[in-house]
Amino acid sequence: MSAHDLPLLEVRDLAKSYGGLQALKPTGFELWPGEVLAIVGESGSGKTTLLSCLAGHVPADGGSVRFRLREGTGVDLLQMAEAERRLLARTEFGFVHQNPRDGLRLNISAGGNIGERLMAAGWRHFGRIRGEALAWLDRVEIDRSRIDDLPRGFSGGMQQRLQIARNLVTRPRLVLMDEPTGGLDVSVQARLLDLLRRLVAELDLAVVIVTHDLAVARLLSHRMLVMRQGQVVEQGLTDRVLDDPQHPYSQLLVSSILAA
Amino acid sequence: MSGAYNFAYLDEQTKRMLRRALLKAVAIPGYQVPFASRDMPLPYGWGTGGIQVTAAVLGQDDVLKVIDQGADDTTNAVSIRAFFRKTAGVATTERTAEATVIQTRHRIPERPLHAGQILVFQVPIPEPLRFLEPRERETRRMHGLADYGAMHVKLYEDVARMGRITTSFAYPVKVAGRYVMDPSPIPKFDNPKLHDCPALQLFGAGREKRVYAIPPHTTVESLDFEDHPFEVQRWDRPCGLCGSTDSYLDEVVTDDQGGRLFCCSDTDFCRERRDRMDEGR
C-alpha cells in the first residue's frame, strides 16, 4: 500500500464541552493525503470548536486524533507531549486564521513573517531564508518589493495571502483553515480561492476548511461535513451533498443560498 | 557600619530566600528563577535587583566594587557603594583586580575576571523573548520547550533593514546550549567575556522579580546567522587618555565647538594603563 491509501488523519469520538454546554458531540472522520474537506454549518454549530480541538488550541475532552507521520507511523495528537506536538505544528501543520491579524506578527516585516517557521526549523543562513521568502511572495502574488514592509500596511487580501505563505513555507502536509475568505470583498475572495486551489494541487496538501460559505466549499473541497448543534448531520462528496442534500438541515442550508 | 541595620540591609530570612533562588539559578544556567523581590530604598530601574543579589552574597570579608556604565564615579555606583559601606561595613574598592564582588550596570570590566570573583548584573527586563511575545505564560512555555525559532526573527529584521545585525546591546545569548538569555543591557562588545568566564555571574531583576546565573566556565554563544556572524563593535581610533585600542570607548563631548573625546568606558582599566605609562616614564 502506498501512503495515499492510508488516511492522513483519523478522528474518533472527538468531543468538547464548555461547562454544561456540549459544543462538540463525539465526532469522527477521516482525511486522506491531498484531500480538501470542508466543514459547513451555521454559527454555533461546533465547526470552529472542532478545528480548534484538531489544532490543539483548546484541549479536547475525549476521543483520539491519529496523524500519520511521513515515515508511516501514526501518532495520537491528543496524547502527545506538548514539545512534540509543537514541533509537528511548526513543520507538518499550518493554521490559517480567519483574521490575518491573529496569524501574523504585525510588527515584523513580511519577510520575517515568512521566515519565522524556517528559523524555527533550524535555518540559520540569512541569504537562503530571504530567498525562500521572496519565492513565496511570488507564489502568493505579493510584489517582491514589499518584503521589508510591515503587514499592517497591507490590504486585507494581501495579509491573508501573506498568512498563507507563512504557513506553507515549511511544506506542511496538513493545513487547517478557519473561514480564510471571511471579511474579504467578493473579488478579493475569488482571487484568494484561485490561489488556494492552485497551491493545494501543487503541494498535494490535505486541508480541513471551516466555512459557512457554501460557494467556498463547492470551489475548494472534495468532501464536506455538515454540522449542526455540535454534531455531523450529513457527510459526503461536495457535489453530492450540495446537489442532492439528504438531511433536512442540509436541504435548508442549500436552499437558503441566494441565486445571483 | 550603622547599628540600626542588619548586615547588608536585608534581614537574614530574606537573604536565605535569595540564596535559595540563586542556588537554583546556578544549577540551571540561564534559567530565570522567580524570587520574592523586596522594596529597596532606591527606585526601580536603579538596580534594585542587583542590590538584593549583592546583599545576599556579600560576606564580612568581601571587597565590593560598583560600576555604572564602566565608571566607578557615577551617581548610581557611588550611592550603591556608600549604601553597602553603611549597612554592611565592607571594604570597597575601585580596582577590578582587588574586588571579590562587583555589582555592575551595563558593562563587564575590561580586565579579565578571576576565579572566586562574583559579578552581579542589574537587569531591567530579564525576558529575551518579550519583544516577540508579550504573554509571560507563553514565554515560559517557549523556554520550557526550547521553542526559540522566533528569537532569530529579531536578528532577521536587523539584517533585512540595515544589512547587518544592528542589535548592539542586550544581545541574546544561548547558555550551556539550552536557555536563551538576556545578558542585561551590556554592549555586545562584552558578550564574548560571558563565555567560559572563571568568575560567577549573577543577574538580578528587581521589578520583574527574577534572578538567573552563569556559573564559572559555562559555554555562552551569541545568536547569529551563518552568513552574518556575530561581531563586536570596533573603533577607528584608540582611547584618547590611555591609548588602548581594544577596549570599549565612550564618546564624550568636550566643548561647544564640536570637540569630542573617545575614551575607555572602564575607568579603572584606563587609570591602570595610565599609571603604568607614568611609571615607565
Render pLDDT for B214-264 as a digit per residue (tens, 0 to 9): 999 999 999 999 999 999 999 999 999 999 999 999 999 999 999 999 999
Residue with cell 541595620: B5
pLDDT at A3: 54
Marked catalytic residue, from B47, B204, B263, B270: B270
CB contact under 8 A, B145 and A83: yes
**pLDDT-derived band at A256, boundaries 50, 70, 90:** confident
Of A83, A86, A119, the CB nearest to B156: A119
CB contact under 8 A, A147 and B160: yes
Among A25-29, A82-86, B51-55, where is mean pLDDT lowest?
A: A82-86
CB A140 within 8 Å of CB A162: yes
Cα distance between residue A253 and residue B57, in whole Å? 72
pLDDT at B149 over 90: no
Q: Which grid cell is A2?
A: 502506498
pLDDT at B4 over 90: no
Q: Which grid cell is A251?
A: 436541504
pLDDT tens figures, B166-222? 999 999 999 999 999 999 999 999 999 999 999 999 999 999 999 999 999 999 999
Count of CB contacts below 8 A, A vs B? 55
Q: What is the DSSP annotation of B162-217? A: HSS----BS--EEETTTEEE---S-BGGGHHHHTT-SSEEEEEETTTTEEEEE-TT
The complex scores an ipTM of 0.84
**Alpha helices of chain B — where are they, by DSSP H?**
12-27, 48-57, 75-87, 136-144, 151-162, 191-194, 267-280
Of B132, B148, B225, the CB nearest to A125: B225
Percent of chain A with pLDDT over 70: 97
CB A33 within 8 Å of CB A204: yes
Cα distance between residue A47 and residue A51, in whole Å? 6
pLDDT at A260: 47
Specify whether B116 is catalytic: no
B176: alpha, beta or left? (left if phi > 0; alpha if psi -120 to 50): left
If residue A252 lies in a helix (H) or strand (E), which one and from where to where?
helix A248-255
Tell me the pLDDT of chain A averaged across its residues. 91
pLDDT at A2 over 80: no
**pLDDT-derived band at A4, boundaries 50, 70, 90:** low
Marked catalytic residue, from B204, B206, B239, B263: B239
If residue A85 lies in a helix (H) or strand (E), which one and from where to where?
helix A82-91
Radius of gyration of chain A (CA): 18
Marked catalytic residue, from B3, B242, B258, B263: B242
Specify whether B280 is catalytic: no
pLDDT tens figures, B74-126? 999 999 999 999 999 999 999 999 999 999 999 999 999 999 999 999 999 99
pLDDT at B279: 85
Q: What is the pTM of this model?
A: 0.85
pLDDT at A89: 86
Residue of B nearest to A104 (CA): B132
Of A86, A127, A147, the CB nearest to B227: A127
Q: What is the mean pLDDT of residues A152-164?
A: 93
Q: Which residues of B touch A (CB under 8 A)?
A: 132, 141, 145-150, 152-153, 156-157, 159-161, 224-228
Specify whether B197 is catalytic: no
Specify whether B263 is catalytic: no
CB contact under 8 A, A126 and B228: yes
pLDDT at A154: 94
Tell me the pLDDT of chain B averaged across its residues. 94
Specify whether B270 is catalytic: yes
pLDDT at B2: 59
A86 or B267: which carries more pLDDT confidence?
Answer: B267
pLDDT tens figures, A176-221? 999 998 878 888 888 889 999 999 999 989 999 999 889 889 999 9
